[in-house]
Structure 1
Amino acid sequence: MSKFFISSDLIKDDKVFIDGENANHIINALRCKIGEKIEVSSGDGYDYVCKIEEISKNIVVAKIIDFFSNESEPDIKITLYQGLPKSEKMELIIQKCVELGVDEIVPVVTDRVIVKLSGKEDKKITRWNKISEAAAKQSRRGKIPTVQPIISFNDAIKQASKNNLNIIPYEKEQKNGIKNIINTFKGKSIGVFIGPEGGFSEKEIEIAIKNDITPITLGKRILRTETAGFITTAILLYELEV
């Protein structure tokens, strides 16, 4: 059964009114017929099983026949602050981190970022959010994690102050592992800082430490930027048992 995310204002009483790209996908790609079932989520913590009642050129109307609590969202909110990588690596990072359970992704410009966006930031963000949506559908998430606008490292540091815990994998850290940190963690939100291909500069690590962002080790091997984010997320969720 195909899943679609819609805004809450499109759910009225026992009906859902699906328009835009979702309606186009139902009508032209899936070629759904009246009477077929689809699954809908508005990010309110519930999934709705619906039966299609009407199909017009631009809208699909379906009746809610069942609903249940979505159990796929972790209790801990993980925000990934990702140093911008080259080429299509960001797309892979978004896809896999959304599948694993990241709550939000923030692209960050750091000292060693070499990618040039040349005024294409808005197009990139739009595409990245579509990739997040597709990954959320595939993994049956209860929400679509947002890919935020690109910000500077200093702004990311400020933004991360809202989290209960922030960590930064760093190749020179030898002792502090995720398990050590999580053993005493009692909060509800974690920020994960991942550097670009060249990693973080010494200056950035110093700034991070001064702002209570804890350096951690991911083991004896150096991971690529496109690997480090979802490995860190996977370990966190495993250790937290969520």
Structure 2
Amino acid sequence: MPRFFVKEVTKTTAMLQGEDAAHAIKSLRMRTGEELTLCDEMGVDHQCVITAVSPDCVQLNVIKSKPNTAELPSQVSLYQALPKGDKLETIVQKAVELGVYDITPVLTSRCISRPDDKSMNKRLERLNRIALEAAKQCGRGIVPRVHPLISYSEALRQMQKAAVPILCYEGGGESLGKILEKGTGGAIAVCIGSEGGFSPEEASQAQSIGIAAATLGSRILRTETAPLFALSVISFLLETR
């Protein structure tokens, strides 16, 4: 069933406007009497039937509403060191599919890609569009946000607020399972390095403020593989508790 995110749904009615309406009418060729799902971005799915169609608006009646069941039991934030090329697009798409709550690009000492503000802001629009499309495709109850690029020091400061902050470090550490077992529940923050990984100084800086170093196994994973591996393990552990 087609799925759209909207800001407002009443108990009985809703509507699609703008690009979403055009997509439903022109691309999906939907007509009066057909059904679709609206999510209000607050974790509630609304099954709706189309009651009227115009070139820029689709009017709907709400048939039933129920909580979305696709979200992880804990919020998982990804702090991703900025990779080269379009790798971040793949990371965003797959991270959303794996249940991430939000994604923040981070500039570390070994990042090769160092875009200016104008270039990064343009990329950010595309990344958030990718997150939206991925959330629709996999049935999420929210649209994970891709935040603006921040420094490594700022990333560590933000991660400290999470109940379980984790630095995935190629230099070794505990398994993700052991770290989550020791956690008290609540939000999880995961930081992944760039193509060159983290410097020893960056790893020490994180550990000195209580951020646990985690190993992702005996193999060195690419920067675009590591976050997907980590998120897969975390989502499995959270959903099988």
**Do they superpose with TM above 0.5?**
yes
What pairs up with 1:155-194 in 2 under 5 angstroms?
A: 155-173=154-172, 176-194=174-192
State the distance in 1 between where 2:97 and 2:48 align: 24
Secondary structure of 1:209's counterpart equals: helix
1:88-143 deviation digits (Å, cap 9, x = unpaired)? 10011011110010000001111111113232111111100010011111110111
Equivalent in the alignment of 1:142: 141
State the distance in 2 between where 1:55 and 1:6 align: 17
Question: 1:82 and 2:80 equivalent?
Answer: yes
1:211-232 deviation digits (Å, cap 9, x = unpaired)? 2111111111000010100110
Q: Give, in angstroms, the shift of residue 68 of structure 1.
A: 1.6
What pairs up with 1:32-181 in 2 under 5 angstroms?
A: 32-118=30-116, 119-173=118-172, 176-181=174-179
Structure 2 residues without counterparts, runs of 5 or longer:
none
Structure 1 residues without counterparts, runs of 5 or longer:
none
- Contact preservation (8 Å) 2:4, 2:37: yes
State the distance in 1 between where 2:202 and 2:218 align: 22
State the distance in 1 between where 2:32 and 2:166 align: 50
Q: Give, in angstroms, the shift of residue 75 of structure 1.
A: 1.1
Q: Give, in angstroms, the shift of residue 179 of structure 1.
A: 1.4
State the distance in 2 between where 1:211 and 1:134 align: 36
Q: Give, in angstroms, the shift of residue 24 of structure 1.
A: 1.5
Q: Tell me the C-alpha RMSD between the 2 structures.
A: 1.2
- Contact preservation (8 Å) 2:135, 2:143: yes
Question: Which residue identity is paired with 2:152?
Answer: F
Question: Which residue identity is paired with 1:149?
Answer: P
Instruction: Please report the TM-score for the alignment, with normalisation by the length of structure 2.
Output: 0.96
Question: Which residue identity is paired with 1:72?
Answer: A
Count of matched residue positions in the alignment of Structure 1 and Structure 2: 239
- Contact preservation (8 Å) 2:73, 2:239: no
Q: Give, in angstroms, the shift of residue 43 of structure 1.
A: 1.7
State the distance in 2 between where 1:86 and 1:25 align: 32
State the distance in 2 between where 1:13 and 1:170 align: 48
State the distance in 1 between where 2:169 and 2:114 align: 25
1:41-74 deviation digits (Å, cap 9, x = unpaired)? 0122210110111111211111101112111101
Q: Give, in angstroms, the shift of residue 12 of structure 1.
A: 3.1
Secondary structure of 2:225's counterpart equals: helix
Instruction: Please report the TM-score for the alignment, with normalisation by the length of structure 1.
Output: 0.95
State the distance in 2 between where 1:26 and 1:211 align: 49
Equivalent in the alignment of 1:15: 13
State the distance in 1 between where 2:35 and 2:162 align: 39
Question: Which residue identity is paired with 2:163?
Answer: N
State the distance in 2 between where 1:14 and 1:36 align: 16
- Contact preservation (8 Å) 2:77, 2:189: yes
Identity of aligned residues (%): 38
- Contact preservation (8 Å) 2:170, 2:220: yes
